[in-house]
Amino acid sequence: MFFTQGIWPWVLFNAFVLVLLALDLGVFHRRSHTVSTREALIWSAVWIGLALAFNLGLYIFQGPDLALQFLTGYLIEKSLSVDNIFVFVLLFTYFAVAPRHQHRILFWGVLGALIMRGLLIGVGTVLLETFHWIIYLFGAFLIFTGIRMGLQKDEAVHPERNPVLKLLRRILPVSQDYDEGRFFTRHNGRLLATPLLLVLIVVETTDLVFAVDSIPAIFAVTNDPFIVYTSNVFAILGLRSLYFVFANVIHKFYYLKAGLAVILTYVGVKMLLADIFHIPTALSLLVIAIVLALAIVASVLRARKRGGETGNKQKEHAASR
């Protein structure tokens, strides 16, 4: 069980991730710039390709069961991470973050998210091994979250209510400008935090809230902490490029939240039934894929219909002049 047991798989995998992040920020994105859709699509393909290559390695060395668990967990986390994009768009708009600085925020946000999620996965693994009944709490929580997400109409973000942000503003002086994407700056010899640091803190705390939903969902697929961690990491690594792909069109995916709500509810039910009826991982993968596909197709059809209706109204208005 080379991939999932012992300390070396963890060491090698984390070293690999650190090398990727170093290349990302130090070589490919050394200078702040506005990420184009084409560049974001290329990077999305790279991150997805790396995840699938890792999945292939699991299949070859560990067999189809672990590979299927990884793929299902990766798809769950990848789909739930889309919900982060909704919030990131609102946060960057609220704080008026220039497009050229957004990649830097997301890079450090991802690095912090990897650390926090690693800790949460470790805690979750210990709890499940020590208190098996916690799986029922996880399941009930996911069902509650799914229903709440399905009923929630508007996404409201109130960064000013963030307790960590309030505390930071009390103890740390903040400058008025972003100072070319720096987190700290000096003014009259005084060290100040820039608003960019505040945005990063809000992004980190927001991701922590999302992690509380997504990590229990992956535990419904596998109890192997290494599979939970690696599927989470690969999904998070691709979140930045996914943001730049969907940032300008995410509002058109009207039914995506409903699809995510169904997925969370399904995973919650799966956890509640774990000791009564085992739902095969392959079936879960199929259900999640179908729900996502239906949500995306329905959203695209709705957007086209509304676009056609808008075009007809404009023509009628022009003809009436």
Residue 3 lies in a domain: no
Q: Could you tell me the pLDDT band of residue 87, with boundaries at 50, 70 and 90? A: confident
Residue 117 lies in a domain: yes
DSSP string of 177-232, one letter each residue: S-TTT-SEEEETTEEEE-HHHHHHHHHHHHHHHHHHHHHHHHHTT---HHHHHHHH
Instruction: State the Cα–Cα distance between residues 23 and 12, nearest whole angstrom.
Output: 17
Block residue for tokens 């290329």: 42
pLDDT at position 1, please?
Answer: 41
- Percent over 90 (pLDDT), the chain: 16
Instruction: State the Cα–Cα distance between residues 120 and 136, nearest whole angstrom.
Output: 18
CA 248 distance to own-chain centroid: 17
DSSP string of 48-110, one letter each residue: HHHHHHHHHHHHHHH-HHHHHHHHHHHHHHHHHHHHHHHHHHHHHHHTT--HHHHHHHHHHHH
pLDDT at position 48, please?
Answer: 93
Residue 222 lies in a domain: yes
Over residues 192-227, the pLDDT tens digits come to: 888 888 888 888 887 787 787 788 888 888 889 899
Answer yes or no: is pLDDT of 157 > 70.
no
Q: Could you tell me the pLDDT band of residue 21, with boundaries at 50, 70 and 90? A: confident
pLDDT at position 313, please?
Answer: 58
296 neighbors 258 (Cβ within 8 angstroms): no
- Percent over 70 (pLDDT), the chain: 87
Joined together, the tokens standing for residue 205 give: 């705390």
Over residues 260-304, the pLDDT tens digits come to: 899 999 999 998 988 888 888 899 899 999 999 999 899 888 888
Expressed in percent and rounded to 5, the helix, strand and coil fractions of the chain are 75, 5, 20
**How much is the pTM?**
0.82
Average pLDDT over residues 294-316: 75
pLDDT at position 310, please?
Answer: 59
Residue 255 lies in a domain: no
Q: Could you tell me the pLDDT band of residue 158, with boundaries at 50, 70 and 90? A: low
Residue 111 lies in a domain: yes
Residue 112 lies in a domain: yes
Average pLDDT over residues 227-239: 90
Instruction: State the Cα–Cα distance between residues 13 and 315, nearest whole angstrom.
Output: 57
Contacts 24+ apart (CB under 8 A), 91-99: 91/157, 91/159, 91/199, 91/202, 91/203, 91/206, 92/199, 94/157, 94/159, 95/159, 95/195, 95/198, 95/199, 95/202, 97/178, 97/196, 97/199, 98/178, 99/34, 99/35
Answer yes or no: is pLDDT of 62 > 80.
yes
Instruction: State the Cα–Cα distance between residues 78 and 72, nearest whole angstrom.
Output: 10
Answer yes or no: is pLDDT of 11 > 60.
yes
Answer yes or no: is pLDDT of 90 > 50.
yes
Provide the residue range defining the domain that includes 99.
8-141+154-248
Residue 294 lies in a domain: no
pLDDT at position 309, please?
Answer: 58
**Rounded mean pLDDT of the chain?**
82
Instruction: State the Cα–Cα distance between residues 87 and 44, nearest whole angstrom.
Output: 19
Q: How many structural domains comprise the chain?
A: 1
Block residue for tokens 């990884």: 70
Average pLDDT over residues 12-41: 78
pLDDT at position 234, please?
Answer: 92
Specify the higher pLDDT residue, 153 or 111. 111
Q: Could you tell me the pLDDT band of residue 2, with boundaries at 50, 70 and 90? A: very low
Residue 199 lies in a domain: yes
Block residue for tokens 């699809």: 259
Answer yes or no: is pLDDT of 56 > 90.
yes
221 neighbors 72 (Cβ within 8 angstroms): yes
For 184, phi then psi, to 5°, come to -130, 150
Answer yes or no: is pLDDT of 175 > 50.
yes
Specify the higher pLDDT residue, 123 or 89. 123
